[in-house]
Structure 1
Amino acid sequence: MTTDQGRPRKADREDPRAVHQRIAADLRDEILSGELPREARLPSTALLIDRFGASNASVQKAVNLLKDEHLVTSRAGAKTTVTYRPRRIVVPAAYSAPAAPGETYRWISEAESQGEAATIELLSVGKVAAPREVAAAFGIEAGEPVARRTQLLRLDDQPAELVHSHYPLAIAEGTPLLEPRKIRGGTPALLAAMGHTPAPEGTVDRISACIPTQEQFVALHLPGELIPVLRTFRVVRSTKDVVIEVTVMAKAGHLYELQYTF
C-alpha cells in the first residue's frame, strides 16, 4: 500500500490476533486449500520463523494449534506432517433430488461415488414449536407445531453435518415422517411418493457463516471455539408451489465448500 507520492503507508487496520494465531490461520488455509497437501511436510521451524518474522515460541504455539485441530502430526525427532486433506466440496444439487424407487438416499450414494463411507444417525423425531424463521417460511405463526427430524450425517465416521428438517403436520401426520426410523431413499423420495414432489427449481438455499451453537459445537466435534459453521437454511417447494420442507443444516466451516452451478 502506497501514498500518491509513492511512499509506503501503514495499513488502515492490522490483524489484532496473537502472532501464533495469525501464523496458524495462514498455515491452516494452505492445508485446507491443498497448497500443503496431505502427507506433505510442514516447513521447518527455522523457515517459519523467517517467513513470519516471529519467535520460535510463537511458531511452536501455532503448530500446536494445528495439532489440536488434527491438521498436522509429529513424532519425537520427526518432521511435522500434514494429516488432513483439502476441504471437501459438497454439491447440494447432486443429492437434493428424490432417489429412484429402491435406490439409496442420494447423499449416501454421492459420497460413495467419491470413495467416502457415508452414514446417517437419526437423533430425534417428533413435533416441535416452529422457530420463527421456519414458521415464516411455512406461512404459519411462530410456535405452531410442525414435525421435525434431526439427523447427524457422517463421512468416513467423522461428523459432517447436523440437520434439522421440518414438515407441516398436514403432510407429516400419520406418515413415516413422524416415525423414529430411517426412511429408505430419504425424505425427498418419500415426499415424492406421497404426491409432494420437490420442484426441480423449487429449492432455495440461504447460506451464512456463524459461530456454532452449543448443539452444533458438540455434535460436529469442532476443535476450536472460533471455528465457524456453514449454516444452510433451505426451503423446498413442491411442483404444486407449496412449501413442503424447511431444513436447517450446519457443517464445520473450515472443512467444507459448497459448489453451485448457474
Structure 2
Amino acid sequence: MTVLTNDTGTPDRRSLHERIAADLRDEIMSGDLAAGASLPSTAQLKERFDASNATIQKALQLLKDERLVVGRPGAAVTVREHRQRTMRPASYMTPAPSGHPYRWLTEAAKLGARPDSSLLDVRETSAPADVAAALRIAGDETVILREQVLTLDDEPVELVKSYYPMAVARGTAITEKRKIRGGTPALLAELGFPPRTSVDRVSARVPTQEQYRALRLPSDLPVLRTLRVVFSDEERPIEATVMVKAGHLYELQYEFSAE
C-alpha cells in the first residue's frame, strides 16, 4: 500500500480506496458534487487517482454504504438527493403551542421528509460526568433519563438522551414512559420552568457501540455529538440532552445577530 504524506510530512496510512472515498465525500458534502449529479466515470476516477478499477469500485461502495450516492452496475453513480440535511437547532427549542406536535417533528417535515420519534426508555439513573456538571448536581445524584431515536423516512437520524433533575421531574409526566404532547419543552413551560436559553457543545467523535447500532451506521465515520443545556429563569439548568447524529449526513446551522 502506498503511504502518502501531506505538507507537514504526516503519513496518510489509510488504504487507497478509503482516501479516494474521503476526497469524493468532501466534494459531495461541500456541494461541489451536487445532489442528483453524476460522479465522474470510472475511467476518469482511475486517471485522477492513479488507481485500478477494483480500487475505484471499493471506494464507490463505501459511499453507497454511507447512503451518499446511488448506482448499479453499468449505470452512472449519482449523488443521492438530500444527501446532507441542514438542521437548525434554534428553530425547535421554543415550546410548541398547546396541543401541537413536538417542534422537531414539524421542523423536520419542512425538509420534505416524514419524521417520527420512538421512545426507547424512561428511567432513573446517574448522569454522565459532563451532564451532571451541566445540571450542577453531584455525580451520584439520581436524574430522570428519557431516551428516544428520531427518524426521517424510517431511517434513524438521531439518538437522543435527555436528563432532568429530580427536583424538576419528580411527580410529572417526565417520569412516565409515554410520549409528551408538544414535547418536554412545552411541559416544562407548563410546570413553571419555561426554557429561556440553551447552550450547545458540539464535538465530532467515533461512534460508540450503542450509537453505531441505533443509527445503523455503515462504518466508524465520526458522529456529531451535541450536549445541549437548557436554562430557565435565573439561569437554572432544567434539562441536559445528548444528541448524536451521523456526521456524514447532517450538519448544524447556528444563526447569530450582531447585537
Regarding TM over 0.5, the answer is yes
- Percent of paired sites with the same residue: 56
Greater Rg, structure 1 or structure 2?
1
2:15 matched residue in structure 1: 18
| TM-score, normalised with respect to structure 2 | 0.91
User: Contact 2:84 / 2:251 at 8 angstroms: preserved in 1?
Assistant: yes
**Aligned-residue CA RMSD (Å):** 1.7
Q: Which amino acid aligns with 1:255?
A: L
1:52 matched residue in structure 2: 49
1:78 matched residue in structure 2: 75
Q: Structure 2 stretches of 5 or more lacking a match?
A: 1-5
Per-residue CA deviations over 1:165-215 (Å, capped at 9, x if unaligned) read: 01111111111000010001010000000000011xx21101100011111
Q: Distance in 2 between matches of 1:102 and 1:58?
A: 54
Q: Distance in 2 between matches of 1:127 and 1:101?
A: 27
Give the paired residue count: 251
Per-residue CA deviations over 1:53-112 (Å, capped at 9, x if unaligned) read: 222232122112222223333333322233353311111000011111122211011112
Summarize the Cα distance change of 1:180–1:47 in structure 2 as closer, same or farther, 3 Å threshold: same
The equivalent position to 2:219 in structure 1, one of 224, 229, 235, is 224
The equivalent position to 2:30 in structure 1, one of 30, 33, 55, is 33
1:131 matched residue in structure 2: 128
Q: Distance in 1 between matches of 2:134 and 2:71?
A: 49
Misfit runs of 4+, over 6 Å: none
**SS of equivalent to 1:240:** helix
Alpha-carbon distance, 1:11 to partner: 5.0
Summarize the Cα distance change of 1:76–1:54 in structure 2 as closer, same or farther, 3 Å threshold: closer
Q: Distance in 1 between matches of 2:237 and 2:67?
A: 41
User: Contact 2:164 / 2:238 at 8 angstroms: preserved in 1?
Assistant: yes
User: Contact 2:203 / 2:226 at 8 angstroms: preserved in 1?
Assistant: yes
Please say if 1:212 is aligned against 2:213.
no
Alignment of 1:18-167 (within 5 A): 18-167=15-164
1:256 matched residue in structure 2: 250
2:241 matched residue in structure 1: 247
The equivalent position to 1:187 in structure 2, one of 184, 187, 205, is 184
Q: Distance in 1 between matches of 2:75 and 2:150?
A: 35
Q: Distance in 1 between matches of 2:37 and 2:76?
A: 10
Q: Distance in 1 between matches of 2:243 and 2:79?
A: 29
Q: Which moved more, 1:27-36 or 1:153-162?
A: 27-36
User: Contact 1:197 / 1:238 at 8 angstroms: preserved in 2?
Assistant: yes
Alpha-carbon distance, 1:10 to partner: 6.3
Q: Distance in 1 between matches of 2:112 and 2:128?
A: 37
Q: Which moved more, 1:69-78 or 1:251-260?
A: 69-78
Q: Distance in 2 between matches of 1:243 and 1:233?
A: 13
2:3 matched residue in structure 1: none
**SS of equivalent to 2:12:** coil
Summarize the Cα distance change of 1:10–1:99 in structure 2 as closer, same or farther, 3 Å threshold: closer
**SS of equivalent to 1:246:** strand
